[in-house]
Amino acid sequence: MSVMSTLIRGGTVVTAEGEFRADVLCVGESITAVGPDLQAPTGARTIDAGGAYVMPGGIDPHTHMELPFMGTVASEDFFTGTSAAAAGGTTMIIDFAIPDPGESLLGAYRKWRGWAEKAACDYSLHVAVTWWADSVREEMRTLCRDHGVNSFKHFMAYKGAIMCDDETLVNSFTTARELGALCTLHAENGELVYVLQKAIFDKGLTGPEGHPLSRPPEVEGEAANRAIRIAEVLGVPVYLVHTSCIDALEAVSRARLEGQRVFAEVLAQHLVIDDSVYRNPDWDAAAAYVMSPPFRPKEHQAALWKGLQAGMLQTTATDHCCFCAPQKRMGLGDFRKIPNGTGGVEDRLSVLWHHGVRTGRLTPAEFVAVTSTNTAKIFNVFPRKGAIMPGADADLVVWDPNKTRTISAKTHHQNIDFNIYEGMEVTGNAAVTLSRGMVVWDGDQLSTERGRGKYVDRPCWAPYWDSQKTRNRLAEPTPVERVLPKG
């Protein structure tokens, strides 16, 4: 079968390092040349990128396709979700295999791999540590050694479900350090949430407006700081997902300014939506925004933008976890039972371009860094992903900075009956998206193929099983190294 070639000509290439006029030649699934005035091989498809940018496809490090959660299953599956992502210029997701407490991590990983087979674009899986036993340590090692997993998620919230306590954090962090894997965290103090939820409900406040009251910024700030300090003592890098408020951002910034290896992610929606959404008298409309951490008062959005601009927040994501109105109504009369999650995988890049680049907050190069390249580097898939250079996967988006659309559930490709950005006009949209060299979006139509997406292995940073290779050492010994016996 002949190998498909595509020449993207006349565009301005934007990488995390900068922008320059160049053509991009893709042969098969890879980029083979980047430079001015490239010649198209015979039979190549030519895409005119005149007046547009050519960027690495977006990478979303935080999604939950078809997640079983809170008594239901997220309505977006791996095929529809990665197709919607492609329509918005995102060509890779990192989703989560989340074992129930007591369930084998490997078993959960294999289950999610099965579900993800239908993906249209490439994907990888963080694995959650939701309980602890010697078998969990062994499975973490196996997942790193044999399955290309280099990140383990820890939910400090969701008491009685997937929440892990400090003992589990310490055990898992210690194991991750030995493996050279990255620990990621949902940082909210689940004990405090539980107590506040009960107090609010017992006071008779049962609607969605009770949700943010039960998870104030202090609850996130405490957990963020605790996780960061535990990591500091044990000498492991950490990655905070969905950093939503000043309290957590301050914990991250303090640690980073001390030279600690702490990474942090912000969701596109937490940058542009505030907590007024919970005061909508329409129950469904307010419940649609129930996610954790919740949307915050306006001052937090301003601080998060500054954190992104200052480099204290390195990545953007969506936490795409869709529940339609009938599912959200499982919490009618008790906000604690409203399935937590919102969509957004299709709109992340346009929202960040419109509110980030067009306002001058971000340069196009910084936009590429926070939507693609930084994630590729942190999760160790760069330059295969998140790069425009020969040998990289041909995951690309031809970005039209002048194309305007109005975001709506009536027109989006996401499998959910609500869009958190409903009615938002955004300028800056994907004109063409290529997934490993195949055009999957042409600005108007999706042409994704069920199952064409591939699982992306993510090697660890310090192979444990290759005896004494150099490890990820901090400059000076950590507190735990100061007390451990030498050698």
Closest residue to ligand URQ in the complex (CB): 340
Q: Name the residue nearer to ligand URQ (CB basis): 315 or 433.
A: 315
Phi and psi torsions of 435, nearest 5°: -115, 115
Window contacting Zn ion (CB under 5 A); options: 29-37, 313-321, 373-381, 454-462: 313-321
Contacts of 146 (CB under 8 A, 6+ apart): none
Beta bridge partners of 124: 94
CB 95 within 8 A of CB 116: yes
Q: Tell me if residue 9 falls in helix, strand or coil.
A: strand
Partner from ligand URQ, Zn ion, none contacting 76, C-beta within 5 to 8 A by type: none
Show Cβ contacts of residue 100 under 8 Å, excluding neighbours closer than 6 positions. Answer: 108, 130, 162
User: Which token pair is 214?
Assistant: 């039960």
Q: How far is the CB of 92 from Zn ion (least distance, A)?
A: 17
Return the number of the residue (178 or 222) whose C-beta is nearest ligand URQ: 222
Task: Enumerate the H helices of 118-216 as residue ranges.
Answer: 134-147, 166-179, 190-202, 210-213
Considering beta carbons, is residue 163 or 388 the nearer one to ligand URQ?
163
Write down the least CB distance from residue 240 to ligand URQ, Å.
12
Given the complex with Zn ion, which of 342 and 372 has the nearer CB atom?
A: 342
C-beta of residue 167 within 8 angstroms of C-beta of residue 198:
no
Q: Which is nearer to ligand URQ, 375 or 448 (CB)?
A: 375
Residue with smaller CB distance to Zn ion, 122 or 319: 319
CB of 321 to ligand URQ, least distance (A): 4
Q: How far is CA 273 from the centre of its chain?
A: 18
What is the smallest separation between the CB atom of 423 and ligand URQ, expressed in angstroms? Answer: 22
Query: Residue 369 Cβ, how far from Zn ion at the closest point, in Å?
Result: 22
Q: Which parts of 369-469 are beta strand (E)? A: 396-406, 425-435, 438-441
Span of 185-193, 211-219, 229-237, 412-420 interacting with Zn ion by CB under 5 A: 185-193
Please report, as a single letter, which amino acid is at residue 275.
D
> Cβ closer to ligand URQ: 179 or 291?
291
Choose between 126 and 177: whose C-beta lies nearer to Zn ion.
126
Among 137, 186, 300, 377, binds Zn ion (CB under 5 A): 186
- Residue from 319, 346, 366, 393 that binds Zn ion (CB under 5 A)? 319
Q: Are 76 and 415 in contact (CB under 8 A)?
A: yes
Whether residue 38 contacts residue 51, with contact meaning beta carbons closer than 8 Å, is answered with no
d(Cα 237, Cα 233) in Å, to the nearest integer?
A: 11
Smallest gap from Cβ 62 to Zn ion, in A, equals 5
CB atoms within 10 A of CB 25: 22
CA dihedral 150, 153, 154, 155 (to 10 degrees): 180
Site string for Zn ion, 264-303 (x = CB under 5 A): ----------------------------------------
**Local structure of 278: helix, strand or coil:** helix
Pick the piece of the chain touching Zn ion (CB under 5 A) from 184-192, 225-233, 263-271, 390-398.
Answer: 184-192
Q: Could you tell which of ligand URQ, Zn ion, none binds residue 248, using a CB distance below 5 to 8 A set by kind?
A: none
Shortest reach from residue 69's CB to ligand URQ, in Å: 6
Residue 340, binding choice from Zn ion, ligand URQ, none, Cβ under 5 to 8 Å by partner class: ligand URQ
Which residue has 């001015």 as its token pair?
36
Applying CB under 6 A, which residues contact ligand URQ?
A: 64, 69, 186, 291-292, 319, 321, 340-341
Nearer to ligand URQ, 260 or 292 (CB): 292
**209 in contact with Zn ion (CB under 5 A):** no
Between 147 and 186, whose beta carbon lies closer to Zn ion? 186
The nearest distance, CB 435 to ligand URQ, in angstroms, is 25
Interhelix angle for 217-234 vs 190-202, to 10°? 170
- Which partner from the list Zn ion, ligand URQ, none does 69 bind, CB cut-off 5 to 8 Å by kind? ligand URQ
Category of 389 on φ-ψ map: left (φ > 0), alpha (ψ -120 to 50) or beta: beta
- What φ, ψ does residue 199 adopt, rounded to 5°? -65, -40
Binding partner of 208, given ligand URQ, Zn ion, none, CB within 5-8 angstroms per partner class: none
**Residue 214 Cβ, how far from ligand URQ at the closest point, in Å?**
13
Q: Which structure tokens are listed for 186?
A: 């949902």
Interface residues for Zn ion in 109-138 (CB under 5 A)? none
SS3 call for 95: strand
Least CB distance from residue 376 to ligand URQ, whole Å?
Answer: 21
- Please name which of 64, 67, 57, 17 lies closest in space to residue 267, comparing C-alpha atoms: 64
Our CB check for Zn ion shows the closer of 319 and 366 to be 319
426 strand-pairing partners: 405
Residue 62 beta carbon to ligand URQ: minimum distance, rounded to whole angstroms: 7
Axis crossing angle, helix 246-257 with helix 217-234, rounded to the nearest 10: 20
* Interface with Zn ion (CB under 5 A): 186, 319
